[in-house]
Amino acid sequence: MTDLTKQTLAPGRAFISDDLLQVFYRLLAALLICFSLAILSDSFLTLGNILNVLRQASLLFFIASGLTLVVLTAGLDLSVGANVALSACLAGTVIHQTGSPALGVLAALATGGVIGLLNGLMVTALRIPSFIATYGMLWVLNGLTYWYMAGEIIHGFPPGFRQIGSGYLFGLPTPVYLLLVFLAIGTIFAQRTIWGQEIYAIGANPVAARLSGIPLTRRLLLVYAVSGTMAGLASIIFLARLNSAEADIGESLTLPAIAAVLIGGTSLFGGVGTVFGTFIGALILTLVLNGMNLLSVNASWQPLVTGFIVIVAVWLDMKTRRRGQ
């Protein structure tokens, strides 16, 4: 049994070096964007703006990093945005009712995690394709959130809690610390632990993975639960940063999160990609918006520019990948 496991994991190691190359290309693309912006705008290459971009990228990264693990198993989680909305609204209520930010944080993480676990159960126990299961979950969550909020807005949270989103620690915004911590945890988990490697193996070849004794169901449950919990974490950052929650905050979050994962080089077919790549993907999307604001690009052109850059980024990815093979 152990021999078999090693055999399936062997190609996994080959993927990592290929992945490293991909991450390098991504980093280059991000630097190229930075370089162009630095020439075009005086205010781009300032410490203030770099910290600003990192803080903005963190929210997207939290959602996208959990999602990366799901995509690595050749699955998809379309419910992340709706998850953020419900988790934020419930956590907001808990903080208002109890006055305790700690309980609010727990509520957000628990809500997110339970939603993720339910997604995982639909995918494993009911064998519903993840795209459909999580799409259904998106609607269920939207329905629950709309009903619960009934058009209301929850706003006004304690200053201590708000530090999580808008505070600074030794000159760095608090969300940037969280970003670095979860970037490290995600990278180590995916690349350096057996469970992480098993997730790559499941995505690369689920049949071979099962035959080699990888507990498919448990790993998939874990992956969806992590994706949900990260959405819960993102909802806390959202609450702390914006000081309010309403039912429709999730809709504009899902597609950018998926885009960040794909621009970051994770393949929708599973088995290929890195959490670090996703960080670069989130950074590129944030840089594009930041640059357009700094350069005062006309509002009409902004979606067009974003779309163009997403297409070019993925096209470059496929081109470099082909060369790699």
Partner 1 sequence: MSVRVSICASLAILASGAMATSAFADGETIAVFTKNQTNPYFQTVRVGADAAAKALNAKTLQYIPTKPDSIPEQLSQIEDVVVKKPDAIVFIPVDYKAMVPGVEKINAANIPVVNITDRSAGGKFVSFVGADDYSLGLETARYLLKTLGGKGNIVIIEGVKGSLTSVDRVRGFNDALKENPGAKLLASQPGNYQRLQALQVMENLIQSYPQIDGVLAANDAMAVGAIEALEGANRKAQVIGINGTKEAVDAIKSGKLLASGDYNGFLQGCVGTIIAIRSLRKEPVIPEIVLKPTVITKANYQPYETPVESRACPSWDEAAKLGGK
Q: Which is nearer to partner 1, 205 or 302 (CB)?
A: 302
Minimum separation from the CB atom of position 194 to partner 1 (A):
38
For strand 168-169 and strand 172-173, is the pairing parallel, antiparallel, or unpaired?
A: antiparallel
Minimum separation from the CB atom of position 16 to partner 1 (A):
34
The residues near 130 (Cβ < 8 Å, ≥ 6 apart) are 70, 75, 76, 77, 119, 123, 224
- Alpha carbon 257 to chain centroid, angstroms: 5
CA neighbor of 252 nearest in space, from 289, 208, 223, 292: 289
Q: Which is nearer to partner 1, 106 or 305 (CB)?
A: 305
| Amino acid (one-letter) located at 19 | D
Q: Which is nearer to partner 1, 32 or 45 (CB)?
A: 45
Q: Which is nearer to partner 1, 23 or 90 (CB)?
A: 90
> Within 13 Å, how many C-alpha atoms sit on residue 119's CB side?
37
Q: Which is nearer to partner 1, 200 or 238 (CB)?
A: 238
Residue ranges binding partner 1 (CB under 8 A)? 41-44, 46, 48-49, 52, 55-56, 59, 139-140, 142-144, 146-147, 149-153, 155-156, 166, 238, 241-244, 246-249, 251-253, 289-290, 292-294, 296, 299-300, 302-303
Q: Which is nearer to partner 1, 149 or 179 (CB)?
A: 149
The tokens describing 59, both together, are 């929210």
Beta bridge partners of 172: 169
Calpha distance 26→206 (Å, rounded): 28
Minimum separation from the CB atom of position 57 to partner 1 (A):
10
The residues near 25 (Cβ < 8 Å, ≥ 6 apart) are 265, 316, 317, 320
| Amino acid (one-letter) located at 108 | A
Backbone angles phi, psi at 301, to 5 degrees: -85, -15
